A and B are shown apart, each in its own frame.
Chain A
Amino acid sequence: GAVVSQHPSWVICKSGTSVKIECRSLDFQATTMFWYRQFPKQSLMLMATSNEGSKATYEQGVEKDKFLINHASLTLSTLTVTSAHPEDSSFYICSAMGLAGPTYEQYFGPGTRLTVT
């Protein structure tokens, strides 16, 4: 149980185009999902917190107009990188909050590698 998927697992796009990444909780409902970005050989940095049915909360320094987040249902959140630039190339990882026994835990997706050429 508690599986989170991401699609696509990798994507290459040209500068100026937009890319959408999906994050799904497959066997549980997640009212809260998180989006992280990870540059090579670096740690994960939280970009935003996504709550179902409401606007995402972005971390300081993250452009909300560039990284559009939609959490339309209890099992799906999407991250759209708009007008992508090469510096947006990174590994994007989502996580979903789910009930595991008596407590809520974060379950991580396998990540999406974005390369902008």
Chain B
Amino acid sequence: SQQGEEDPQALSIQEGENATMNCSYKTSINNLQWYRQNSGRGLVHLILIRSNEREKHSGRLRVTLDTSKKSSSLLITASRAADTASYFCATDHTGTASKLTFGTGTRLQVTL
């Protein structure tokens, strides 16, 4: 399977703390994206990082990409209860016609 792996599988933190989740993939990518999914809902696109980029910021989100290690991390700073959701990385790979391969996901629980 080409599916990427994410760790941790589950993460529980208190409001105000930072949350870091990691994604590893197997083959060379064009882009890597992070999505959020609230329980039973569709996907919300968070951020896209291209293979020639190393770091990207969007509000409280910081994404890094290390193509030599085939890995990416998503940092959510100053977490809020509303950040509780599952987070998925998704990669598109050279020669696969824009198909996305999703990671296994991290379930984040932010408690008050």
Task: List residues of A whose CB falls within 8 A of some B CB.
Answer: 32, 34, 36, 41-46, 49, 91, 93, 95, 97, 104-111, 113
Contacts and interface: CB of A to CB of B under 8 A. Distances in A.
Contact of B88 (A44, A104, A107, A110): A44
Nearest to A113: B40
Contacts of B29: none
Nearest to A49: B99
A42 B40 CA distance: 12
29 contacts: A32-B98, A34-B99, A36-B102, A42-B104, A42-B105, A43-B88, A43-B103, A43-B105, A44-B43, A44-B88, A45-B102, A46-B100, A49-B97, A49-B99, A91-B40, A93-B42, A93-B43, A95-B100, A97-B98, A104-B98, A106-B98, A106-B100, A108-B35, A108-B43, A108-B45, A109-B42, A110-B41, A110-B42, A111-B40
Contacts, number: 45
A111 B35 CA distance: 14
Q: Is the interface on chain B under 10, 10 to 19, 20 to 34, or 35 or more residues?
A: 10 to 19
Contact of B3 (A43, A91, A108, A110): A43
A70 B104 CA distance: 29
A41 B98 CA distance: 25
Of the listed residues B35, B42, B88, B101, the one surrounded by the most CB atoms of chain A closer than 10 A to its CB is B42
Contacts of B101: 46
Contacts of B99: 34, 46, 49
Nearest to A106: B100
